[in-house]
Structure 1
Amino acid sequence: MGVLLLAELDDGALSASTARTVAAAAQLGPVDLLVPGPRAAADQAAAIAGVAKVIHAKEAPLADGLANLLAGLADGYTIIAAAASTTGKDVMPRLAAKLDIQPVTDIVAIEGANRFVRPIYAGNALETVTDPQQTHVLTFRASAFRPAASGNAAPVETLDTDIAAAARFIAAHRTQSDIPDLATAQIVVGGGVSVGSAEGFKLVEALGKTLGAAIGATRAAVDAGYAPNDWQVGQTGKIIAPDLYIAVGISGALQHLAGIQGAKKIIAINTDPEAPLVKIADVALIGDLFEILPQLTAELEKSGVKR
């Protein structure tokens, strides 16, 4: 059973989520990893354990081009997969339509060669899907899987082909940041609308910086302009699964809870002991966040936790 997996790239570099999707795909068979972009990313991908071969495409096309590329490579593979990311959600439905296959998306666990577990009802339930098709088109929720180890030395095969596409890339506009990637961070500090302002949100950022954590926000905080869009966590934002999630001033709306269900430990800081997120937290600090956060940050810095 061969697996063709689309690598996830970020600004031409291999994303940390790729090692996680390789770990998932490797449960189903030998993984050939398609890396569209710079050769350096392909060489980096070759070091991921579980990769049998890296297929390097010199071009990094948009979604329709990637779907055409995957369709051209589909023969010989029983599984074609990608991360359930912005790219994967754009590419894989196009590929499934081209191949006339029903995709199975957002997989969080693998129970067999054609049995997969995925969340439904905004993450409030899990369903097990049996896919009887001869070829499977899948997307994995990267945050649900531990990353594969490194130390491999898979061969790299470069494709010398033009990729047909109906759209062309014009420009990219990026937000520069030195904080960890939210989708794969081990520690995340999230803030809610209760912080009151963008200035108040700096307390959340200060705690995150001290812990070397990624910063998240609720949709209400983003809509209020307190935090940028790419910090949004939840059903309509990013799905995270950190080892530790610190929720500051977050009541716990259903949409937000759907995005943090994979968190191993949750610390809630809130004035309301009856808030939904406080009730599911492993540790709750009940009080004013404007008093607790500066004290907590100072104590952590004093104890030498700062990274």
Structure 2
Amino acid sequence: MADVLVVVDHVDGVVRKPTLELLTIARRLGEPVAVFLGAGVERAAPVLAEHGAVRVLAVDAPQFAEYLVVPKVDALQAAAKVVAPVAVLVASSGEGKEVAARLALRLGSGLITDAVDVRAGAEGPVATQSAFAAAFSTTSRVSAGVPVITVKPNSAPVEPAAAAGAVEELAVAFGELATGTKVVSRTARQSTGRPELTEAAIVVSGGRGVGGADNFPLIEALADALGAAVGASRAAVDAGWYPHSNQVGQTGKTVSPQLYIANGISGAIQHRAGMQTSKTIVAVNKDPEAPIFDLVDYGVVGDLFQVLPQLTDAITTHKG
């Protein structure tokens, strides 16, 4: 079978969930070959093998941490020469899309970003994308070269499938551009203990109807009861009620969880653009004419200050 390169997204060898989803997708197209950049491959290799990686091409170099994306592009270009893949799959993050675009240019091929599904086709991989705030779905394929495709988190299930996962050292010659932009400092984000917003299976969001930063603990309490991430509308973020890193929408982050609960959010098109591909959408809003109700699977017309505490208590009781 043909090989499919999967770029491993990890933190010190801890493989992130979107990579495991990519391995599931890669098995539809051929045999997954994981590309691991940085330290910690000993920790990651068994997980990658458990989820279908037949090989793991690994390289660790200080350039990956000290400089921006170009060293990673150099490494992926080297991996593509070794494997001659039928496709390259990358998690659809900000950095992932930049790496993918640069790699596609290097390979003289085409790029597809933010795919929500990828399947084998007669003339190569076929990707599905959501367009115009998910009002339309498009299917497309790269017509020349090796397809480089970025895939949104939560676009495929994580399906274990044991494979060899043999670790092989990847030789990389870094070009002059690799050291062009140096990272001079890093500041760790304070951990909330909640899932990453774009990767979460459940997202609970609050909007203008929450009324202020002091009321967002209602949103957080429900999220914690569900093991969910917390999101916010642009109105809430612009008002300073919640950090911009949690904004869901056209100018924020795009999420596609199994369950999205919108609280006090009117449903403006800018917000819908960031969450409309969620599998199940629930809204709580006291305005029965709110546009969000045109989109939802389940709607609750009511005061969120009464509905959310009851819902949180019911979930906590059920879990207990």
TM-score for the superposition, normalised by structure 1: 0.91
One-letter code aligned to 2:103: L
Secondary structure at the aligned position of 1:51 is classed as: coil
Q: Which of 104, 108, 112 is 1:96 aligned to?
A: 104
Secondary structure at the aligned position of 2:118 is classed as: strand
Q: Which of 65, 68, 78 is 1:72 aligned to?
A: 78
1:3 match: 4
- Partner Cα distance (1:265, 1:150) in 2: 28
Alpha-carbon deviation of 1:11?
5.8
Q: Which of 280, 286, 293 is 2:295 aligned to?
A: 280
CA gap of 1:73–1:206, structure 2 versus 1, over 3 A, is same
Alpha-carbon deviation of 1:280?
2.3
- Partner Cα distance (1:122, 1:283) in 2: 20
- Quick check: 1:48–1:148 contact (8 Å CA) kept in 2? no
Secondary structure at the aligned position of 2:274 is classed as: helix
Secondary structure at the aligned position of 1:26 is classed as: helix
- Unmatched tracts of structure 1, length 5 or more: none
Task: Describe how 1:39-58 pairs up with structure 2 within 5 A.
Answer: 39=40, 40-58=42-60
- Unmatched tracts of structure 2, length 5 or more: none
One-letter code aligned to 1:88: G
2:313 match: 298
CA gap of 1:278–1:219, structure 2 versus 1, over 3 A, is same
Secondary structure at the aligned position of 1:293 is classed as: helix
Deviates more, 1:158-167 or 1:218-227: 158-167
Q: CA RMSD in A?
A: 2.1
Q: Which of 171, 174, 177 is 2:192 aligned to?
A: 177
Deviates more, 1:8-17 or 1:51-60: 8-17
- Partner Cα distance (2:195, 2:39) in 1: 22
- Partner Cα distance (2:163, 2:85) in 1: 22
Q: Which of 121, 124, 130 is 1:119 aligned to?
A: 130
Alpha-carbon deviation of 1:233?
1.7
Q: Which of 153, 157, 182 is 1:168 aligned to?
A: 182
CA gap of 1:247–1:44, structure 2 versus 1, over 3 A, is farther
One-letter code aligned to 2:93: S
Q: Which 4+ runs in 1 deviate beyond 4 A?
A: 150-153
- Partner Cα distance (2:314, 2:149) in 1: 45
User: Which structure features the higher share of helix residues?
Assistant: 2
2:28 match: 27
2:209 match: 194
Deviations 1:68-98 (CA, angstroms, capped at 9, x unpaired): 1111222222322211111211211111222
Deviations 1:162-190 (CA, angstroms, capped at 9, x unpaired): 54412233332232220122222222111
- Partner Cα distance (1:198, 1:10) in 2: 31
TM-score for the superposition, normalised by structure 2: 0.87
- Partner Cα distance (1:292, 1:44) in 2: 45
- Quick check: 2:21–2:159 contact (8 Å CA) kept in 1? yes
1:14 match: 15
Secondary structure at the aligned position of 1:142 is classed as: coil
CA gap of 1:45–1:161, structure 2 versus 1, over 3 A, is farther
2:222 paired with 1:227:
no
Deviates more, 1:145-154 or 1:204-213: 145-154
2:141 match: 130
CA gap of 1:177–1:12, structure 2 versus 1, over 3 A, is farther
Alpha-carbon deviation of 1:44?
4.6
Alpha-carbon deviation of 1:204?
0.3
- Partner Cα distance (2:297, 2:188) in 1: 35
- Partner Cα distance (2:88, 2:288) in 1: 46
Deviations 1:201-231 (CA, angstroms, capped at 9, x unpaired): 1110011112221111112222222112221
- Quick check: 2:96–2:150 contact (8 Å CA) kept in 1? yes
Deviates more, 1:155-164 or 1:264-273: 155-164
